[in-house]
Structure 1
Amino acid sequence: MFAKNVGGLDRILRIVAGLVLLSLFFLYPDASWRYFTLIGVVPLLTGLMSSCPLYSIMGLSTCPVKRA
C-alpha cells in the first residue's frame, strides 16, 4: 500500500475541503461550474487514506517524525 505522508492537520483540512467541494455539487445543480466541484474527490480520498501520491513524488511529508 502507500506510505503515510499526510499528517493530522493536513489530513483534516483535506477531508473538510473535499466535503465542501462535493457538497457544492449537490447544492447548486444548475450551475455551469458544477462538474468542477467533483475534483473534491481527490482531497477527500487522500485525506482518508493519509497518503498523497504527489507528496511521494516530491519527497514531502507532513507526518510527525518517529523517534527511535
Structure 2
Amino acid sequence: MDIKEKNIGQTDRMIRAVVGALLILWALAGGPHWAWIGILPLVTAGISFCPAYKLLGMHT
C-alpha cells in the first residue's frame, strides 16, 4: 500500500470524522463498549484512506 494513496473524498472524510467522534464520545459517556469502533472511521478520515474501499476498487 502506498501511504500517499487517497481513496476517500472530502465529504466522505467529514462524515467519517463526525460519526467516529460521536461514537467515541458516546463510549466515553458510558455507552456500549462497541462504540469504540468509532476509532476506525476517525483514523480512516485522518489518513484519507479506507482499506475496504481499496479491496472493492472504490473511490469517493
* Global fold match (TM > 0.5): yes
| Structure 1: gaps spanning 5 or more residues | 63-68
Match of 1:36 among 34, 37, 44: 34
| Residue equivalent to 2:9 | 7
Instruction: Give the fraction of aligned pairs with identical amino acids, expressed as a percent.
Output: 34
Select the structure that is richer in helix: 2
Aligned residues: 58
**Cα drift, residue 2 of structure 1:** 5.2
Q: TM-score, normalised by structure 1?
A: 0.80
TM-score normalised per structure 2: 0.90
Runs of 4+ deviating beyond 3 Å: none
**Within-5 A mapping of 1:1-68:** 1=3, 3-28=5-30, 31=31, 34-62=32-60
Gaps of 5+ in 2: none
